[in-house]
Amino acid sequence: MGSVYRAIDIELQETVALKLLKPALMESADALERFRQEVKLARRIAHHNVVKTFDLGDDGRQRFLTMEFVDGVSLSRYLSQRGRLDVLDFAQVAQQLCAGLASAHHAGVLHRDLKPDNVLVAQDGRVAITDFGIAVVSGALTGKGIIGTPTYMAPEQLQSDTALDGRADVYALGAIFFELLTARRAWPGNDLVAVAMARVLQPQPRRTYKRRPNWIHSTPTWCGI
């Protein structure tokens, strides 16, 4: 929907992230409403593992929103730089993702597009969820058309006019976890039909070990979603 820039808030003298709506969408009532919705829903969430959204503005020519600037990289780039994460690194990332997502769900917000590109990893190790551009209130209908990223979408997101809840985000979270531990996607490809059919025709992806480590048999207490 837009481009994001690093900018200086001259009133507060602070670095922020500035998201500009694409010029081609400026005349679209649906796009403008989605832009407003992103701010309204993201501001419901106040948590260390969710990027803060500050304000929505208009300079007469351009719609924009301001967000907290996170000095780091996306989780997808983090994974490409490091390769498959070991158990300790995975646990640190997973714990923070679970905490951030739980806070969103507690606020009644469904992200709908949770994926490594929409997660930031700061230089200090903080993990934060961002981009609530297609978020909705939990329990809302999907509406006509399919919106999201096929690789990480829950099966119910592929159906029109289906009520969604937090389980759709948890499905995407599981796909992210699989990718972090294996350095490959559970459902590769970006073609919607191909990915959807793979879930029906192919067996569930599995992560195999030559030796099953003890941590697999333990029950995590940090994933409160």
Please check whether residue 12 is in contact with residue 20, taking contact to mean a CB–CB distance below 8 angstroms.
no
3-class state of residue 112 by DSSP: coil
Query: Nearest 5°: phi and psi at 67?
Result: -135, 165
2-61 confidence digits (pLDDT tens): 789 999 998 889 999 999 887 776 667 777 777 788 888 998 999 999 999 998 888 877
Range name among 57-66, 167-176, 187-196 with the lowest pLDDT average: 187-196
More confident: 69 or 11: 69
pLDDT over 90 percentage in the chain? 46
**What pLDDT is recorded for position 193?**
66
Please give the domain boundaries of the chain with CATH numbers for all domains: 2-68 (3.30.200.20), 72-217 (1.10.510.10)
Whether residue 21 contacts residue 31, with contact meaning beta carbons closer than 8 Å, is answered with yes
CB 80 within 8 A of CB 178: no
Q: Residues, the chain, total? A: 225
pLDDT for 186 = 82
Sign of the Cα pseudo-torsion (190, 194, 200, 201, in order): negative
User: pTM surpassing 0.85?
Assistant: no
- Quick one: average pLDDT of 175-185? 93
Instruction: Give me the active site residues, please.
Output: 113
More reliable by pLDDT, 27 or 185: 185
The maximal CA–CA distance of the chain, rounded, in angstroms, is 62
pLDDT band at 172 (very low <50, low <70, confident <90, very high): very high
Structure tokens at 213: 């480590």
